[in-house]
Structure 1
C-alpha cells in the first residue's frame, strides 16, 4: 500500500514538472513571437544621471531636489525608454514646487513607487491630472519614489505629518510594494545600490547595483555599449546572484505564465504568492503581514483623512485581467477604501514598454484618466 502511494506521488510530481516544462516552452514561444519577453527585468541596465536618489536628514528616500534627472532603461542592445524629468523643491517628480501653507479646500497626496513617480515616461501624470481638474481649491501632491514600498510610504507621510493636513491619502500600490523592506541609497563610484543601513557594505559586495550613473549628454549608443560591458560583468558566476526583489519578480512572472490565472492545486503548491487569493489556506509571510500592520499605522496616524489603497495593474496582470496578489479583503478589513484600477478601467500591454514593466506615455495617460473619472 505505501509503495502505491509513493508511486502515485511520484507520478503527480512528474506530471507537475512536465506540465511546467510544457507551459514554459509554450510561453517562451508566444513571448518570442510577440517579441514581448525577449529580456527579463534582470536583463535591464538602468542609468540615472547623478545625483538622483538621496536620503534626507529625516531618513526618508527622495530624489535630489530641483534637478533634471535623465533615466535610461536598456535591455540587451535596445533602449526601452530614455526620459528626463524634473524634481521640485522637496525632491518629488512634479513641475510645481510644494508649499503646504497654501490655502486650499482640499489637499490630496498620491504616494507610491516608480509607477506613482512616473518612471518610463516624460508624461508627468499628477501634473496632467492637476490640469484636468482645473481646481485652484484642490492641491495635488506626488509622493512617488522609485523602488519604495509600504514602509517607505509611512516614513514619507510621517515626515510631513506636523506640516500639512491631508484630506485624502491615496496609497498607490503594486503587489511587490508589500514585500519591499526599508532600503537606503548607497553610492560607490558610478553605481547605486538599495541597501539596509545595517548591511550596506555586505549589500554592495554581494549584489549588483540597481542603478548606474550616466552623463546627461551621453548618446544612446554609448550607453548601450556601457550596458553590454556591465551586463557581461553582472553575469559572471560570482556576481550573477539576483537580489530578493529580482528573484521574487522573476519567480512570480514564471508562476503567472504557468498558472494563466487558474489557481490549480499544482500551481498553488509551486507559486505561494497565488495563494493570497485563497482565504484561510495560506499563512501569509511576515513581510506581507508587516506591510498590513504598517498600513494600519498610517490609518491610525491620519484619523481625519480619507485613505485609499489604489491597486495599479502590472503588465503581467493585464493578460489574465487578474491581480497576482489579492489584497482586497485585507484592505477592507482595516476600514480602508480599496480601488482596483485593473477592474474599473481598460488596460492592455500596449500601455507598457516593450520589455520594461512600467507604463509608457499611453499607460500614464490611461492612469490619469482612470483616476480622474473614478476618484473625483
Structure 2
C-alpha cells in the first residue's frame, strides 16, 4: 500500500537581513536598504524590496548595487541580531514539528505530515506559523505548501512578499507544465540554453521527451530532469544535519578561462566565509580546515580540488588566496573554459576541540 503524500512547508523570511534593519531602525522603513560592507570586493547580503525595484539583488557586487541605486542606504551586516531572530523563528517552527531542515538563517523546510498541534491541514499550519512570526518578530515570511521539497520551495516564491501558495498533489503536473525549465533546481542559464537547442522551453516540453533521450543527452542528470518534470522529489526533510561543507558557487553567462576566474573566486569566498562564520558562531560552534575549489567545464565535467593548510584559513581573503592557488592543480589546457566556479570550506570540527588541540601543540616544546 503506497504511503500518503508528504506535507512539506518551505518558509522563507522576506528580505530578512534588510527587514530586520528596517524593523530596528524606523528611519530606514520605506527606503532602499542594502545590507553590505562597502568596498570593491564586497557583495550584497540582502536588499530591501525598495532597493530591489532598482535591480539590486543578493550576491551582487556592492559597487554594482551602488551604481544601480545611488540613493541606497548601505548598512553593515549584524549577524548576531539576525541569528537571534532566526532562533525565535525556529522556536515557532518547533511548536508544530520536530522535522525542521534549516537551509540558512532565513529559510527552512518543515515536514508537517504529522504535527504537534493537530491543525487540520498543512495550509492551516503554514498560516499559523506566518501569523506567529508576524506577531512575535514584527517581520513577514512567505510560505509554500506542497507534497515535496522542491515544489514547496517554488511555491514559497510564488506570492512573495508576505504570501502563501499551496500546490496540492492533484495539481502538480498542471502547475509545472507552463513553467520555464529555468525554474527547476539545478537548471542554470547554460543548461537552459542546451535544453532550448532541443526545443525544450517549459517543464511541459521537458516532460514530453523520453527518459532515454534525456539520459542520452545529459547522463544521470537526464534522469533527474525527467523526475523533476513529473514533480517527483523523494528527498526527505533532514533535521539537525551536521554541516559537512559551506560553499558558494556561480554559473556564468559566458564560459571563462581559469585566469579569468580570480575576481569571481574572491567574491564567492566572501559569501562562503560569511556562511562559515555563522557556523562558527552558532550553537555548536564548528570550524572548517579544508579549502575546496569546484569547477564545471564547458562540457559539463565537474572538477574539485582541495587543500588542508597547516593552520585553518583565518579570513575571506585567505580563503580566496588558497582557492585561487588551487587552480594550478587543474591539469587541463590553459585554453579550457569553465561555466561554473564554486568556493567552499569543508572538514568541520568542533570549535572547542580545535582550540584545545591548538593549545596542546603550542604548549609542546621541540628540541
| Bin of the TM-score, shorter chain as denominator length | under 0.3
Q: Which structure is higher in RCO with an 8 Å CA cutoff and minimum separation 6? A: 1
- TM-score between the two structures when normalised by the length of structure 1: 0.23
